[in-house]
Chain A
Amino acid sequence: MADGPPATVVNARIGLLLRMRARTLGNRVRQAALDAPIRLATAAGMILLIWMALYGMFHLVFHMIRRTPLEATVAFPMVFSFFFAAMLVLLTFSNAILAYGLLFSRREAAYLLTLPVPPLDVITLKFLECVVLSSWSMVLLGLPLMTAMANLADHPVFHVLFVAFFLAFIPIPGALGLILAWAVAKYFPRRAMKAATILAAAALFFALMYGVRSMRMGDSATEVWLRAFLSRMGFVEAAFLPNHWVAAGIDHALHSQFGDACLYLGVTLANAFFLSWIAVRIVSAKFGGAYDHAGAFRNR
């Protein structure tokens, strides 16, 4: 008699899901290489070109700044703090939009929900996909920045350390974006795009207003203006923000303070793991309700 599998408790399927995803990616690349090799080569060449141009630009800038040690002491941590703060905001929104699409709009999530797969595995897969997909631009922009910076350090181990900081940071906006996408699906399913657009527009508006106000504070060429501007933007370097951990860690690494750099790397990694774990757990535990809520309006 047909009674399905022998009532097996289906254990974690994340390995199977990841293998399947790797196979689809392999097939996609193989197909592109066979069907449109010139297009694939052009895309790869352009990415390499952009990467090298960015690396060259950052390399020049950092060497110029380094010629004046006093400015370098102030500028380097600020550059990284602002860079990672901007990335934190941008990647959170980017992850939220991707996570919403992958979890609540695409048919794959519905298909997986009809299979004996624990929701935790589905959410983990989608979280990893979001982090990879949303972070490619950061890899394109950030890696040349980090590599150019690493070249200023005296010890080759800092190359590894800088990349580690970079990778440790990426899951943090991923986790925040996942929670944001779930909250939108749960509480604003019919107005998901509208809500996301309004939120993004409001964030951009306030950022612009803040920037314009900061610029208008006085003569932009004076030291007073610079001090006031840095003072206004001081919140970006607050000790509880992830961008501060990364910037401080890089700064310590640059000054050969290996122990302190590792401490900040540990803080970043621990928070990245914890936030990711919390986000994936919460969303998988509450996914059914959010999917139902979002899907109910889509599938009448």
Chain B
Amino acid sequence: MSEQTDSREPAIHVAGVSKSYGRQLAVSRLSLDVHRGELFAFLGPNGAGKTTTIKMIVGLLAPNEGDVRVCGHEIGSNGIAAKARMAYVPDQPFLYEKLSGREFLHFVAEMYGLTIAERDRAIEELIRRLDLLEFLDHLTESYSHGMKQKIALAAALLHRPAVLVIDEPMVGLDPRSIRTVKDLFLELVRDGGTVFMSTHALEIAESIATRIGIIRKGELIAVGTLEQLRRQARREHSLEEIFLQLTEENCG
């Protein structure tokens, strides 16, 4: 396994990927490159194939055809190297119910090979930024959805991942936490990291995404900056209107 990653390689490289469940095609020949320093918002109606695409990127599902690479490492054959550089937060974050938030963060830090000093420094900063201190030493089974989301996010950011893949990051968060999470994402991409975010919150995508991709019925129907999407939709309006127009146009 290569210890160095080529900085010219896209952070996420999806080439001609298809996935079907039985006879139902969920994703069809999807190709997409997301580069370092990009915050990519992945949009689409329910059942469009967003979650399937994300699960193929993080190695939970194997594509029927095509190739997925993260930081130059093929997720199928060299999954450990790819996963060591990546973090994934699903829409329903998983936490060990019988661990406290702090114990869970320690577990994840050790999993990614952080030293105790690195771990403590990272946890200290995330406690402050995400306001975790009050409940950090309680068992996670007592947490609300928002608290779980914040701990899962902190766990994902502990090792400063090169690629953060996150599904509906803002659900259950209060406005202050949403602001903090946006700032954390922007800092990560400013430092050369990549955020791949699936969301239905179009105003959040509009405000922080570098590029936006729209998927419908398993096909990527539009990719580009907000300006490029506006040109494609021939509209000078909000992302919501562009999204509605593009997904409607492709219905027929």
A residues lining the B interface (CB < 8 Å): 1-10, 13, 16, 20, 23-25, 27-28, 31, 107-108, 110-111, 113-118, 288-289, 291-292, 295-297, 299-300
Contact = CB atoms under 8 A, between A and B. Distances in A.
Contacts of B88: 114
B80 A2 contact: no
B246 interface: no
B193 to A, nearest CB: 4
Given A7-B3, A291-B60, 10 more contacts: A2-B188, A3-B85, A3-B192, A3-B193, A7-B1, A7-B4, A7-B5, A24-B96, A25-B98, A31-B139
B98 A296 contact: no
Interface stretch (B111-119, B200-208, B220-228): B111-119
Interface string B14-58: 000000011010100000000010000000000000011001001
A9 B112 CA distance: 10
Given A1-B191, A4-B162, A289-B62, A297 B83 contact: no
A5 B114 CA distance: 8
B101 interface: no
B161 interface: yes
A5 B161 CA distance: 8
Interface string B68-95: 0001000010001101111010001010
A9 B80 contact: yes
Contact of A299 (B51, B85, B159): B51
Nearest to A298: B21
A156 to B, nearest CB: 39
Nearest to A115: B111
Nearest to B99: A24
Given A2-B192, A4-B161, A31-B139, A20 B96 contact: yes
B111 A4 contact: no
A7 B162 CA distance: 11
A114 B1 contact: no
B61 A9 contact: no
B112 A24 contact: no
B interface, size bucket: 35 or more
Contacts of B193: 1-3
17 contacts: A1-B191, A1-B192, A1-B193, A2-B193, A3-B162, A5-B113, A5-B114, A7-B4, A7-B81, A9-B80, A10-B112, A16-B111, A27-B99, A110-B94, A114-B86, A116-B83, A116-B84
Contacts of B159: 4-5
Q: What 10 pairs between A and B have smallest CB-CB spacing?
A: A1-B192, A4-B85, A2-B193, A24-B98, A111-B94, A116-B84, A2-B160, A116-B83, A7-B3, A114-B88
A117 B111 contact: yes
Given A1-B193, A20-B107, A27-B139, A7 B62 contact: no
Contacts of B81: 7, 9, 116
A114 B88 CA distance: 7
Contacts of B110: 16
Contacts of B86: 4, 114
B115 to A, nearest CB: 10
Contacts of B107: 16, 20
B59 interface: yes
A141 to B, nearest CB: 28
Nearest to B160: A2
B103 interface: yes
Nearest to A106: B94
A256 B110 CA distance: 50
A24 B2 CA distance: 36
B63 to A, nearest CB: 10
A292 B22 CA distance: 12
B55 A20 contact: no
Contacts of B96: 20, 24, 108
A24 B188 CA distance: 32
B34 to A, nearest CB: 14
B60 A110 contact: yes
B97 to A, nearest CB: 8
Contacts of A2: 160-162, 188, 191-193
A297 B60 CA distance: 13
Contacts of A8: 84, 113
Contacts of A23: 99, 103
Contacts of B5: 3, 7
Interface in B107-162: 107-108, 110-114, 139, 159-162
A108 B90 CA distance: 12
B111 A13 contact: yes
Interface centre among B71, B98, B108 (most CB of A within 10 A): B98
A292 B108 CA distance: 24
A29 B39 CA distance: 44
A295 B59 CA distance: 12
B185 to A, nearest CB: 11
Contacts of B161: 2, 4
